[in-house]
Structure 1
Amino acid sequence: MRNTARWAAALGLTATAVCGPLTGAALAAPSGATASLYAPSALVLTVGHGDSAAVATPERAVTLTCAPSASGTHPAAPLACAELRGTGGDFNALTARDDVLCTKEYRPVVVTAAGVWQGKRVSYERTFANECVKNAAATSVFAF
C-alpha cells in the first residue's frame, strides 16, 4: 500500500507540474487571438523495479513535452518525441531492436506513462523481464 501511495503522489505532482501550464495557456489567450495549431503532448514517464506499478518503487521519473517542440527533463527528448510520433503515440507499437541479446534473468522493470498525447489522455504501464529487455523494446522513450 505504501508503494501505491508513492506512485500516486509522484505521478500526481509531476502531472500537475507538466499539464498545469497547458490548461492555463488556453485561458490566458487574449480575445481575438488565434487558437493553437497543435494539440498538447505532455507526459510523465517513470521507471521502477517490480511486477507492477502498484508494488514497484519508482526509481526515476522524467517529463516529456512533444508539442509545440520537444522539451522536458527527458535526456533525449527530441528522439523520444520522434519515436512516439512515428507510432502515433502508441507505446505498444514501439519496436524492439534486433541486435540486442538479453539474459533470461528475471528482475522485473515496470514503466509507466501518464499525461496527454495530442490532446488525449494517456495511461500506460508495461512490465519487462529485466532492464536489458526494457532497453531493447522501448527504444529511447524509456531510456533515462
Structure 2
Amino acid sequence: MPAHSAPASLYAPSSLVLTTGHGERAATTAPARAVTLNCAYTTSGTHPDPRQACGELDRVNGDLDRLATLRGNETGRACTREYRPIVVTVQGVWRGIRVDYEHTFANPCIKETQGASAFAF
C-alpha cells in the first residue's frame, strides 16, 4: 500500500510578493522595494504590518481592485496634482488562486492616502 502524506495545512496557501516602483507600468519599471506577505493560519513576511495587510485582503475577499482604494483619504492629507506615477504589483497565491496584479497611483502621496495598508511599505 503506498504511503500518503497529509497536507501541510488545512488552509489554502496565501503567499504574496508585493513590489513598488516609480513609473507607469511594472514591465518598464524596476522595483524600488519588495516585501513578502504570508496570510495562512498565521501571518508573517517582510511586510511592515502583515497582520493589518492580511486583514485588509480578507475584508475585500482578495479583490485587489477594491484593495487599491480601500482607505479613501481617511488621513485628510491633501495631495498635489503632480504626476509622478508609482506602480504596485502583487504576485503569488491567494487562497489557492494564482495572483498577478498591477495598479498605478498618480503619485506616492495618493498611494499612501488612498492605497490600503497592504501597499504601505
TM value normalised by structure 1: 0.74
1:121 maps to amino acid: R
CA 1:105–1:36 in structure 2 vs 1: closer, same or farther (change >3 Å)? same
Matched, 1:127 2:104: yes
Map of 1:21-100 to 2, 5 A cutoff?
Answer: 31=4, 33=6, 36-94=9-67, 95=70, 96-98=72-74, 99-100=76-77
Alpha-carbon deviations, 1:17-66, whole Å to 9, x = none? xxxxxxxxxxxxx7363673210000000000001001112100000000
Question: Quick one: distance in 1 between partners of 2:48 and 2:5?
Answer: 38
Alpha-carbon deviations, 1:76-103, whole Å to 9, x = none? 0000000000000111112123423211
CA 1:77–1:34 in structure 2 vs 1: closer, same or farther (change >3 Å)? closer
For residue 101 of structure 1, what is the aligned residue in structure 2? 78
Runs of 5+ unmatched residues, structure 1 = 1-29
Name whichever structure is richer in helix by fraction. Answer: 1
For residue 141 of structure 1, what is the aligned residue in structure 2? 118
Map of 1:9-28 to 2, 5 A cutoff?
Answer: none
Provide the aligned C-alpha RMSD in A. 1.6
Contact 1:97–1:139 at 8 Å: present in 2 too? no
